[in-house]
Amino acid sequence: MATLMALSLCVLLLSLPVCSLSRPLSHSSPSSSFKVALIHRDSPYSPIHDPSASPSDLFRLSAKFSISRIRHLRSVLTGKSSLSKFESEVKVGPFEYLMRIGIGTPAELQWLIADTGSDLTWTQCLPCFNCFEQKAPIFDPKSSSTYRSLNCSSTLCQALTNDRECGVSSCQYHYEYQDGSATSGKLSTESFTFETPKSTLSSLKPSISAIPSSSPSTSPIKSTASATFSNDQGTGAIIKDLGFGCSSSTTGTFGKNGEAGLVGLGGGPLSLISQLGNSISNKFSYCLASRHDKNATSVLNFGENANISGLNVSSTPIMNFENFPTFYFLNLSDISVGEKRLGIPTGTFDLTPSGDGGFFIDSGTTMTLLPIDAVRLLLDEFNDIIDFPSIVNPPSPFEICYIVPDSSNITGLPDITFHFSGDADWKMGPSNIFYPLHENVICPVIVNSPAAGPSIFGNWQQQNTVVEYDLGEKRLSFAPADCRSYREL
Protein backbone atom coordinates (compact mmCIF):
# COMPACT_ATOMS: atom_id res chain seq x y z
CA MET A 1 0.00 0.00 0.00
CA ALA A 2 1.29 3.36 -0.98
CA THR A 3 2.13 5.82 1.75
CA LEU A 4 1.94 9.50 0.96
CA MET A 5 4.45 11.97 2.26
CA ALA A 6 3.30 14.31 4.99
CA LEU A 7 1.18 17.17 3.72
CA SER A 8 1.63 20.79 4.66
CA LEU A 9 -1.98 21.78 4.09
CA CYS A 10 -2.80 25.38 3.44
CA VAL A 11 -6.27 26.76 3.83
CA LEU A 12 -8.47 25.54 1.02
CA LEU A 13 -11.59 27.47 0.09
CA LEU A 14 -14.39 25.52 -1.58
CA SER A 15 -17.53 27.32 -2.78
CA LEU A 16 -20.37 24.82 -2.59
CA PRO A 17 -23.67 26.05 -4.02
CA VAL A 18 -26.53 24.06 -2.54
CA CYS A 19 -28.06 23.61 -5.97
CA SER A 20 -25.25 21.16 -6.73
CA LEU A 21 -27.21 18.54 -4.78
CA SER A 22 -29.53 18.10 -7.72
CA ARG A 23 -26.71 17.17 -10.08
CA PRO A 24 -25.50 13.59 -10.62
CA LEU A 25 -22.16 12.67 -9.15
CA SER A 26 -19.26 12.87 -11.59
CA HIS A 27 -15.55 13.57 -11.76
CA SER A 28 -15.80 16.53 -14.10
CA SER A 29 -14.71 19.26 -11.72
CA PRO A 30 -11.27 19.71 -10.14
CA SER A 31 -10.76 17.86 -6.88
CA SER A 32 -9.38 19.23 -3.65
CA SER A 33 -7.85 17.26 -0.80
CA PHE A 34 -7.71 17.69 2.94
CA LYS A 35 -7.62 15.54 6.06
CA VAL A 36 -8.63 15.74 9.71
CA ALA A 37 -7.96 13.81 12.90
CA LEU A 38 -10.53 11.29 14.11
CA ILE A 39 -10.34 11.15 17.91
CA HIS A 40 -11.81 8.10 19.61
CA ARG A 41 -13.80 8.97 22.72
CA ASP A 42 -11.43 6.90 24.92
CA SER A 43 -8.27 8.49 23.49
CA PRO A 44 -6.10 10.72 25.71
CA TYR A 45 -6.86 13.47 23.19
CA SER A 46 -10.61 13.16 23.73
CA PRO A 47 -12.42 15.89 25.71
CA ILE A 48 -14.03 13.15 27.84
CA HIS A 49 -10.96 10.96 28.35
CA ASP A 50 -11.20 9.18 31.71
CA PRO A 51 -7.84 7.69 32.72
CA SER A 52 -9.45 5.92 35.69
CA ALA A 53 -11.82 3.83 33.54
CA SER A 54 -10.73 0.23 32.92
CA PRO A 55 -10.49 -1.07 29.33
CA SER A 56 -13.15 -3.70 30.05
CA ASP A 57 -15.59 -1.07 31.35
CA LEU A 58 -15.01 1.10 28.29
CA PHE A 59 -15.53 -1.78 25.90
CA ARG A 60 -18.70 -2.95 27.62
CA LEU A 61 -20.06 0.55 27.11
CA SER A 62 -19.20 0.30 23.41
CA ALA A 63 -20.80 -3.14 23.20
CA LYS A 64 -23.99 -1.90 24.85
CA PHE A 65 -24.20 1.01 22.43
CA SER A 66 -23.63 -1.33 19.45
CA ILE A 67 -26.78 -3.25 20.37
CA SER A 68 -28.79 -0.06 20.91
CA ARG A 69 -27.57 1.35 17.61
CA ILE A 70 -28.56 -1.71 15.58
CA ARG A 71 -32.05 -1.69 17.10
CA HIS A 72 -32.40 1.91 15.99
CA LEU A 73 -31.13 1.12 12.50
CA ARG A 74 -33.56 -1.77 12.15
CA SER A 75 -36.42 0.55 13.06
CA VAL A 76 -35.28 2.88 10.28
CA LEU A 77 -34.98 0.10 7.69
CA THR A 78 -38.35 -1.47 8.51
CA GLY A 79 -40.19 1.85 8.44
CA LYS A 80 -40.94 2.05 12.16
CA SER A 81 -38.74 5.12 12.19
CA SER A 82 -37.50 7.32 9.37
CA LEU A 83 -34.24 9.12 8.83
CA SER A 84 -36.02 11.34 6.34
CA LYS A 85 -38.25 12.51 9.19
CA PHE A 86 -35.27 12.79 11.53
CA GLU A 87 -36.71 10.42 14.10
CA SER A 88 -34.59 7.94 16.02
CA GLU A 89 -35.40 5.13 18.41
CA VAL A 90 -31.91 4.82 19.80
CA LYS A 91 -31.27 6.57 23.07
CA VAL A 92 -28.63 9.23 22.92
CA GLY A 93 -25.54 7.44 24.12
CA PRO A 94 -21.82 6.95 23.72
CA PHE A 95 -20.39 7.87 20.34
CA GLU A 96 -17.23 6.43 18.83
CA TYR A 97 -15.22 9.12 17.01
CA LEU A 98 -14.98 12.90 17.26
CA MET A 99 -13.77 15.64 14.91
CA ARG A 100 -12.71 19.11 16.04
CA ILE A 101 -14.11 21.65 13.60
CA GLY A 102 -14.19 25.43 13.39
CA ILE A 103 -17.61 26.91 12.60
CA GLY A 104 -18.18 30.41 11.23
CA THR A 105 -15.98 33.41 10.39
CA PRO A 106 -14.00 33.87 12.56
CA ALA A 107 -14.04 30.13 13.34
CA GLU A 108 -15.27 28.86 16.70
CA LEU A 109 -13.83 25.41 17.49
CA GLN A 110 -16.31 22.66 18.42
CA TRP A 111 -16.14 18.90 19.04
CA LEU A 112 -18.59 17.10 16.74
CA ILE A 113 -19.41 13.39 16.42
CA ALA A 114 -18.27 11.81 13.13
CA ASP A 115 -20.85 9.29 11.89
CA THR A 116 -21.14 7.37 8.60
CA GLY A 117 -24.65 6.33 9.67
CA SER A 118 -26.03 9.90 9.68
CA ASP A 119 -26.48 12.67 7.11
CA LEU A 120 -27.36 15.95 8.79
CA THR A 121 -24.52 17.98 10.31
CA TRP A 122 -25.71 20.11 13.24
CA THR A 123 -24.52 22.09 16.24
CA GLN A 124 -26.07 24.20 18.98
CA CYS A 125 -26.61 27.88 18.20
CA LEU A 126 -27.51 31.11 19.98
CA PRO A 127 -30.07 32.23 20.86
CA CYS A 128 -30.62 28.86 22.49
CA PHE A 129 -33.95 28.52 24.25
CA ASN A 130 -33.26 25.10 25.73
CA CYS A 131 -29.76 23.75 25.20
CA PHE A 132 -27.38 21.39 26.97
CA GLU A 133 -24.23 22.67 28.60
CA GLN A 134 -21.13 22.25 26.45
CA LYS A 135 -17.44 22.90 27.12
CA ALA A 136 -16.90 25.30 24.23
CA PRO A 137 -19.03 28.45 23.86
CA ILE A 138 -22.25 27.82 21.94
CA PHE A 139 -21.96 29.02 18.35
CA ASP A 140 -23.40 32.50 17.83
CA PRO A 141 -24.51 33.10 14.21
CA LYS A 142 -24.50 36.85 14.79
CA SER A 143 -20.75 36.74 15.42
CA SER A 144 -20.07 35.17 12.02
CA SER A 145 -19.85 37.11 8.78
CA THR A 146 -20.60 34.02 6.67
CA TYR A 147 -23.74 32.61 8.33
CA ARG A 148 -27.09 32.58 6.54
CA SER A 149 -30.34 30.70 7.10
CA LEU A 150 -32.01 28.85 4.24
CA ASN A 151 -35.55 29.29 2.97
CA CYS A 152 -37.95 26.48 2.20
CA SER A 153 -37.36 26.66 -1.55
CA SER A 154 -33.68 25.78 -1.19
CA THR A 155 -32.45 22.40 -2.44
CA LEU A 156 -31.17 21.45 1.01
CA CYS A 157 -34.51 22.20 2.65
CA GLN A 158 -36.28 20.13 0.00
CA ALA A 159 -34.00 17.23 0.98
CA LEU A 160 -35.67 17.23 4.41
CA THR A 161 -38.69 15.65 2.63
CA ASN A 162 -41.52 15.25 5.14
CA ASP A 163 -40.02 17.01 8.13
CA ARG A 164 -39.58 20.64 7.22
CA GLU A 165 -41.54 23.50 8.68
CA CYS A 166 -41.50 26.82 6.96
CA GLY A 167 -41.49 30.03 8.91
CA VAL A 168 -41.74 33.47 7.42
CA SER A 169 -38.35 33.21 5.76
CA SER A 170 -36.52 30.13 7.06
CA CYS A 171 -36.48 26.34 6.86
CA GLN A 172 -36.97 24.66 10.24
CA TYR A 173 -35.86 21.12 11.10
CA HIS A 174 -36.68 18.82 14.02
CA TYR A 175 -34.79 15.72 15.24
CA GLU A 176 -36.46 13.67 17.96
CA TYR A 177 -35.28 10.69 20.03
CA GLN A 178 -37.27 7.96 21.75
CA ASP A 179 -35.84 8.80 25.18
CA GLY A 180 -37.26 12.33 24.98
CA SER A 181 -34.12 14.00 23.63
CA ALA A 182 -34.61 16.33 20.69
CA THR A 183 -32.89 19.02 18.67
CA SER A 184 -34.54 21.58 16.41
CA GLY A 185 -33.65 24.82 14.72
CA LYS A 186 -32.93 26.47 11.37
CA LEU A 187 -31.39 24.78 8.37
CA SER A 188 -28.55 27.12 7.45
CA THR A 189 -25.22 27.44 5.66
CA GLU A 190 -21.88 28.44 7.11
CA SER A 191 -18.12 28.22 6.62
CA PHE A 192 -16.57 25.18 8.31
CA THR A 193 -12.86 24.95 9.10
CA PHE A 194 -11.35 21.46 9.09
CA GLU A 195 -7.96 21.72 10.78
CA THR A 196 -5.17 19.27 9.98
CA PRO A 197 -4.46 16.34 12.32
CA LYS A 198 -1.11 17.92 13.16
CA SER A 199 -2.79 21.18 14.16
CA THR A 200 -5.41 19.40 16.28
CA LEU A 201 -2.96 17.18 18.15
CA SER A 202 -0.33 19.84 18.76
CA SER A 203 -2.88 22.18 20.32
CA LEU A 204 -4.26 19.43 22.56
CA LYS A 205 -0.95 18.15 23.93
CA PRO A 206 -0.45 20.90 26.56
CA SER A 207 -3.85 20.14 28.10
CA ILE A 208 -5.67 17.07 26.88
CA SER A 209 -9.13 18.28 27.84
CA ALA A 210 -8.68 21.91 26.84
CA ILE A 211 -10.36 23.33 23.77
CA PRO A 212 -8.47 26.37 22.45
CA SER A 213 -10.59 29.44 21.95
CA SER A 214 -8.43 30.96 19.22
CA SER A 215 -9.48 30.48 15.63
CA PRO A 216 -7.16 29.81 12.69
CA SER A 217 -5.96 32.84 10.86
CA THR A 218 -6.04 32.82 7.08
CA SER A 219 -4.76 35.01 4.31
CA PRO A 220 -6.14 33.65 1.05
CA ILE A 221 -4.16 33.99 -2.17
CA LYS A 222 -5.82 33.43 -5.54
CA SER A 223 -4.51 30.59 -7.66
CA THR A 224 -5.11 29.41 -11.20
CA ALA A 225 -7.25 26.52 -9.92
CA SER A 226 -10.92 26.77 -8.93
CA ALA A 227 -9.93 26.71 -5.26
CA THR A 228 -8.31 29.47 -3.24
CA PHE A 229 -5.26 28.74 -1.13
CA SER A 230 -3.47 30.20 1.88
CA ASN A 231 0.21 30.01 2.74
CA ASP A 232 -0.53 29.33 6.42
CA GLN A 233 1.10 25.95 6.86
CA GLY A 234 -0.92 23.24 8.59
CA THR A 235 -4.13 25.24 9.15
CA GLY A 236 -6.47 22.95 7.20
CA ALA A 237 -9.42 23.48 4.89
CA ILE A 238 -12.24 26.01 4.93
CA ILE A 239 -15.45 24.91 3.25
CA LYS A 240 -17.88 27.70 2.43
CA ASP A 241 -21.68 27.48 2.34
CA LEU A 242 -21.94 24.08 3.98
CA GLY A 243 -25.51 23.18 4.90
CA PHE A 244 -26.07 22.36 8.59
CA GLY A 245 -28.65 22.42 11.33
CA CYS A 246 -28.35 25.43 13.63
CA SER A 247 -30.04 24.09 16.77
CA SER A 248 -31.89 26.55 19.00
CA SER A 249 -33.43 23.88 21.22
CA THR A 250 -31.70 20.68 22.33
CA THR A 251 -33.22 18.68 25.17
CA GLY A 252 -32.60 15.38 26.91
CA THR A 253 -29.32 13.53 27.37
CA PHE A 254 -27.13 15.38 24.86
CA GLY A 255 -23.88 16.99 25.94
CA LYS A 256 -22.76 14.45 28.53
CA ASN A 257 -19.99 13.20 26.26
CA GLY A 258 -18.35 16.52 25.40
CA GLU A 259 -19.87 16.91 21.95
CA ALA A 260 -21.53 20.02 20.54
CA GLY A 261 -23.25 18.31 17.60
CA LEU A 262 -22.62 15.86 14.77
CA VAL A 263 -21.02 15.58 11.31
CA GLY A 264 -23.00 13.41 8.90
CA LEU A 265 -20.77 11.23 6.70
CA GLY A 266 -23.57 9.09 5.24
CA GLY A 267 -24.55 8.81 1.59
CA GLY A 268 -27.75 10.88 1.68
CA PRO A 269 -28.18 14.31 0.02
CA LEU A 270 -27.73 16.30 3.24
CA SER A 271 -24.44 14.67 4.24
CA LEU A 272 -21.07 16.39 4.22
CA ILE A 273 -19.86 14.01 1.49
CA SER A 274 -22.82 14.66 -0.82
CA GLN A 275 -22.59 18.42 -0.37
CA LEU A 276 -18.88 18.45 -1.19
CA GLY A 277 -19.55 16.20 -4.19
CA ASN A 278 -17.30 16.84 -7.17
CA SER A 279 -14.98 19.11 -5.22
CA ILE A 280 -13.65 16.02 -3.41
CA SER A 281 -14.23 13.63 -6.34
CA ASN A 282 -17.12 12.19 -4.28
CA LYS A 283 -14.76 10.23 -2.08
CA PHE A 284 -13.36 10.00 1.41
CA SER A 285 -11.34 7.45 3.37
CA TYR A 286 -10.26 6.75 6.91
CA CYS A 287 -7.64 4.71 8.68
CA LEU A 288 -8.69 3.69 12.20
CA ALA A 289 -5.71 3.17 14.49
CA SER A 290 -5.68 0.26 16.92
CA ARG A 291 -7.31 1.17 20.20
CA HIS A 292 -4.68 -0.95 21.96
CA ASP A 293 -2.29 1.91 21.12
CA LYS A 294 -3.55 4.65 23.43
CA ASN A 295 -1.52 7.42 21.80
CA ALA A 296 -2.39 6.58 18.18
CA THR A 297 -4.77 8.83 16.26
CA SER A 298 -6.99 7.95 13.32
CA VAL A 299 -7.18 10.02 10.13
CA LEU A 300 -10.08 10.99 7.86
CA ASN A 301 -9.14 11.95 4.27
CA PHE A 302 -11.19 13.76 1.63
CA GLY A 303 -10.72 14.06 -2.14
CA GLU A 304 -7.71 12.77 -4.04
CA ASN A 305 -5.92 12.41 -0.72
CA ALA A 306 -8.42 9.61 -0.01
CA ASN A 307 -7.20 7.49 -2.94
CA ILE A 308 -5.62 4.15 -2.12
CA SER A 309 -3.74 1.98 -4.60
CA GLY A 310 -1.40 -1.00 -4.67
CA LEU A 311 -1.35 -4.77 -4.96
CA ASN A 312 -3.07 -5.25 -1.58
CA VAL A 313 -6.13 -3.15 -2.42
CA SER A 314 -9.48 -4.92 -2.80
CA SER A 315 -12.71 -3.31 -4.02
CA THR A 316 -16.39 -4.21 -3.77
CA PRO A 317 -19.53 -2.40 -4.99
CA ILE A 318 -21.50 -0.16 -2.63
CA MET A 319 -25.11 -1.21 -3.06
CA ASN A 320 -27.56 1.66 -3.34
CA PHE A 321 -31.14 1.41 -2.10
CA GLU A 322 -33.33 4.38 -2.93
CA ASN A 323 -35.19 4.28 0.37
CA PHE A 324 -31.99 4.08 2.45
CA PRO A 325 -29.39 6.39 0.83
CA THR A 326 -27.59 7.05 4.12
CA PHE A 327 -26.16 3.55 4.61
CA TYR A 328 -23.24 1.90 2.82
CA PHE A 329 -24.61 -1.56 2.00
CA LEU A 330 -22.21 -4.30 0.84
CA ASN A 331 -22.74 -7.75 -0.64
CA LEU A 332 -21.23 -10.27 1.80
CA SER A 333 -21.31 -13.80 0.39
CA ASP A 334 -19.47 -15.90 2.99
CA ILE A 335 -16.94 -15.99 5.84
CA SER A 336 -13.86 -18.18 6.27
CA VAL A 337 -12.11 -19.26 9.45
CA GLY A 338 -8.53 -19.98 8.49
CA GLU A 339 -8.83 -21.60 5.07
CA LYS A 340 -12.26 -23.13 5.70
CA ARG A 341 -15.38 -21.52 4.27
CA LEU A 342 -18.36 -21.60 6.61
CA GLY A 343 -20.83 -22.08 3.78
CA ILE A 344 -23.31 -19.47 4.99
CA PRO A 345 -26.53 -19.93 2.96
CA THR A 346 -27.06 -17.60 -0.01
CA GLY A 347 -29.36 -14.71 0.85
CA THR A 348 -28.48 -14.62 4.56
CA PHE A 349 -27.28 -11.01 4.31
CA ASP A 350 -29.81 -9.74 1.74
CA LEU A 351 -32.02 -6.75 2.46
CA THR A 352 -35.65 -7.87 2.18
CA PRO A 353 -38.50 -5.77 0.70
CA SER A 354 -39.83 -5.27 4.23
CA GLY A 355 -36.52 -3.72 5.33
CA ASP A 356 -35.23 -6.67 7.35
CA GLY A 357 -31.66 -7.91 6.98
CA GLY A 358 -29.00 -6.26 4.85
CA PHE A 359 -25.28 -5.81 5.56
CA PHE A 360 -23.50 -2.47 5.77
CA ILE A 361 -20.25 -1.00 7.01
CA ASP A 362 -20.43 1.53 9.85
CA SER A 363 -17.89 3.68 11.70
CA GLY A 364 -20.25 4.34 14.61
CA THR A 365 -20.68 0.74 15.79
CA THR A 366 -17.86 -1.05 17.62
CA MET A 367 -18.90 -4.67 17.24
CA THR A 368 -19.75 -6.66 14.13
CA LEU A 369 -23.30 -7.99 14.34
CA LEU A 370 -24.47 -10.93 12.19
CA PRO A 371 -27.58 -13.14 11.98
CA ILE A 372 -27.68 -15.83 14.66
CA ASP A 373 -27.18 -18.69 12.18
CA ALA A 374 -24.01 -17.11 10.78
CA VAL A 375 -22.65 -16.45 14.29
CA ARG A 376 -23.32 -20.07 15.31
CA LEU A 377 -21.39 -21.38 12.29
CA LEU A 378 -18.51 -19.04 13.13
CA LEU A 379 -18.37 -19.92 16.84
CA ASP A 380 -18.71 -23.65 16.17
CA GLU A 381 -15.64 -23.44 13.97
CA PHE A 382 -13.81 -21.45 16.65
CA ASN A 383 -14.59 -24.14 19.22
CA ASP A 384 -13.29 -26.85 16.89
CA ILE A 385 -9.88 -25.27 16.40
CA ILE A 386 -9.24 -23.15 19.53
CA ASP A 387 -7.69 -25.14 22.36
CA PHE A 388 -8.32 -22.60 25.13
CA PRO A 389 -11.17 -23.33 27.58
CA SER A 390 -14.28 -21.17 27.44
CA ILE A 391 -15.79 -19.43 30.45
CA VAL A 392 -19.23 -20.15 31.86
CA ASN A 393 -21.87 -17.46 31.33
CA PRO A 394 -19.84 -14.89 29.35
CA PRO A 395 -20.92 -11.28 29.96
CA SER A 396 -23.52 -9.86 27.59
CA PRO A 397 -23.47 -9.35 24.64
CA PHE A 398 -20.58 -11.79 24.07
CA GLU A 399 -21.58 -15.26 22.90
CA ILE A 400 -18.39 -16.94 24.12
CA CYS A 401 -15.12 -15.98 25.83
CA TYR A 402 -11.89 -17.92 26.24
CA ILE A 403 -9.42 -18.19 29.12
CA VAL A 404 -5.88 -17.55 27.90
CA PRO A 405 -2.48 -17.25 29.63
CA ASP A 406 -2.01 -13.61 28.59
CA SER A 407 -4.63 -11.66 26.66
CA SER A 408 -2.04 -9.16 25.45
CA ASN A 409 0.07 -11.81 23.74
CA ILE A 410 -2.06 -14.50 22.14
CA THR A 411 -1.01 -17.33 19.85
CA GLY A 412 -2.95 -20.24 18.45
CA LEU A 413 -5.93 -18.21 17.22
CA PRO A 414 -7.20 -18.22 13.63
CA ASP A 415 -7.55 -15.45 11.06
CA ILE A 416 -10.96 -14.92 9.50
CA THR A 417 -11.92 -13.55 6.08
CA PHE A 418 -15.09 -11.79 4.99
CA HIS A 419 -15.77 -12.54 1.31
CA PHE A 420 -17.44 -9.67 -0.58
CA SER A 421 -18.60 -9.50 -4.18
CA GLY A 422 -15.95 -8.56 -6.72
CA ASP A 423 -13.53 -11.13 -5.23
CA ALA A 424 -12.84 -8.69 -2.41
CA ASP A 425 -11.55 -10.60 0.63
CA TRP A 426 -11.20 -8.70 3.91
CA LYS A 427 -8.81 -10.75 6.00
CA MET A 428 -8.25 -9.94 9.66
CA GLY A 429 -6.03 -11.32 12.37
CA PRO A 430 -6.83 -12.14 16.01
CA SER A 431 -6.37 -8.55 17.21
CA ASN A 432 -9.31 -7.52 14.99
CA ILE A 433 -11.43 -10.49 16.06
CA PHE A 434 -10.95 -10.79 19.84
CA TYR A 435 -11.12 -8.23 22.61
CA PRO A 436 -8.95 -8.68 25.75
CA LEU A 437 -11.71 -8.31 28.31
CA HIS A 438 -9.37 -9.13 31.20
CA GLU A 439 -5.73 -10.09 31.60
CA ASN A 440 -6.58 -13.73 30.91
CA VAL A 441 -9.93 -13.51 29.04
CA ILE A 442 -10.60 -12.76 25.37
CA CYS A 443 -13.97 -12.55 23.60
CA PRO A 444 -14.85 -12.46 19.87
CA VAL A 445 -16.11 -9.02 18.87
CA ILE A 446 -18.69 -10.63 16.56
CA VAL A 447 -22.12 -11.21 18.09
CA ASN A 448 -25.75 -11.90 17.22
CA SER A 449 -27.77 -9.18 15.60
CA PRO A 450 -31.22 -8.71 17.17
CA ALA A 451 -33.96 -10.69 15.42
CA ALA A 452 -34.30 -9.73 11.74
CA GLY A 453 -31.96 -6.79 12.29
CA PRO A 454 -29.37 -5.63 9.78
CA SER A 455 -25.84 -7.00 9.87
CA ILE A 456 -23.16 -4.41 10.58
CA PHE A 457 -19.43 -4.50 9.91
CA GLY A 458 -18.16 -2.63 12.98
CA ASN A 459 -15.13 -0.45 13.53
CA TRP A 460 -13.21 -2.98 15.66
CA GLN A 461 -12.79 -5.14 12.55
CA GLN A 462 -11.77 -2.07 10.53
CA GLN A 463 -8.76 -1.10 12.67
CA ASN A 464 -5.42 -0.87 10.84
CA THR A 465 -7.17 -0.93 7.49
CA VAL A 466 -7.50 2.06 5.16
CA VAL A 467 -11.06 2.20 3.84
CA GLU A 468 -12.02 4.33 0.83
CA TYR A 469 -15.62 5.27 0.02
CA ASP A 470 -16.01 6.32 -3.62
CA LEU A 471 -19.60 7.55 -4.02
CA GLY A 472 -19.06 8.49 -7.65
CA GLU A 473 -18.07 4.96 -8.66
CA LYS A 474 -20.25 3.38 -5.94
CA ARG A 475 -17.26 1.42 -4.72
CA LEU A 476 -15.65 0.60 -1.38
CA SER A 477 -11.92 -0.18 -1.42
CA PHE A 478 -9.74 -1.37 1.44
CA ALA A 479 -6.19 -2.45 2.20
CA PRO A 480 -4.18 -3.38 5.32
CA ALA A 481 -2.26 -0.45 6.82
CA ASP A 482 -0.40 0.69 9.89
CA CYS A 483 -2.75 3.51 10.81
CA ARG A 484 -0.30 4.98 13.34
CA SER A 485 1.79 6.33 10.48
CA TYR A 486 -0.67 6.26 7.59
CA ARG A 487 -0.21 9.47 5.58
CA GLU A 488 1.83 11.04 8.28
CA LEU A 489 0.15 13.59 10.49
* pLDDT reading at 476 higher than 80: yes
Strand partners, 416: 337, 428
Which residue has better confidence, 213 or 348? 348
* pLDDT reading at 40 higher than 90: no
Q: State the average pLDDT over residues 404-419.
A: 91
Q: Is 115 a catalytic residue?
A: yes
Q: Is 42 a catalytic residue?
A: no
Comparing 15-29, 110-124, 310-324, 362-376, which segment has the lowest mean pLDDT?
Answer: 15-29
Q: 34-205+231-480 has which CATH code?
A: 2.40.70.10
Given 115, 119, 241, 334, the catalytic residue: 115
pLDDT at 147: 97
Comparing 167-181, 237-251, 285-299, 412-426, which segment has the lowest mean pLDDT?
Answer: 167-181
* pLDDT reading at 178 higher than 60: no
* pLDDT reading at 120 higher than 70: yes
Given 119, 241, 334, 362, the catalytic residue: 362
Q: Percentage of residues in the chain with pLDDT exceeding 70?
A: 73
pLDDT at 4: 31
